[in-house]
């Protein structure tokens, strides 16, 4: 599989704002994702979407019952 782009880009200059945000990134999640195939990453995303949608529905039901 061709995983490399044909036109490599120069290294990205660190941005202090982005560096600040980077401190809060959970790298354990990224490391786990990097062990997955691309298909598995999309399957995980769709499972997360289903979960988020179910939580949204549950929230709606709870508000209606109040």
Partner 1 sequence: MTDFDALLRALAAADVRFIVVGGAAATAHGAARLTVDLDIVYERSRENIRRLVAALSDSQPYLRGAPPGLPFRLDEETVQRGLNFTLTCTLGDIDLLGEIAGGGGYADLLPHSIVLKPFGTECRCLGLSRLIQVKRAAGRPKDFDAIAELEALEQERDEPGKQI
Task: Please give the residue ranges that form the binding site for partner 1 (CB under 8 A).
Answer: 1-9, 12, 15, 17-19, 21-22, 24-27, 29-31, 33-39, 41-42, 45-46, 48-50, 52-53
**How many C-alpha atoms does 31 have within 13 Å on its Cβ side?**
4
Q: Is the dihedral of CA 31, 34, 40, 44 positive or negative?
A: positive
Which of 24, 66 has the CB closer to partner 1? Answer: 24
Which of 5, 66 has the CB closer to partner 1? Answer: 5
The contacts of residue 41 (CB under 8 Å, 6+ apart) are 33
Which of 11, 65 has the CB closer to partner 1? Answer: 11
- The one-character DSSP state at 46 is H
User: Min. distance of Cβ 60 from partner 1 in angstroms?
Assistant: 16
């Amino acid at each position: 599989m061709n995983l490399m782009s044909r036109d490599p880009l120069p290294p990205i200059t660190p941005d202090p704002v982005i560096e600040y945000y980077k401190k809060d990134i959970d790298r354990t999640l990224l490391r786990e994702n990097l062990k997955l195939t691309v298909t598995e990453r999309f399957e995980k995303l769709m499972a997360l979407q289903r979960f988020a949608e179910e939580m949204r529905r549950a929230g709606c039901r709870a508000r209606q019952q109040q």
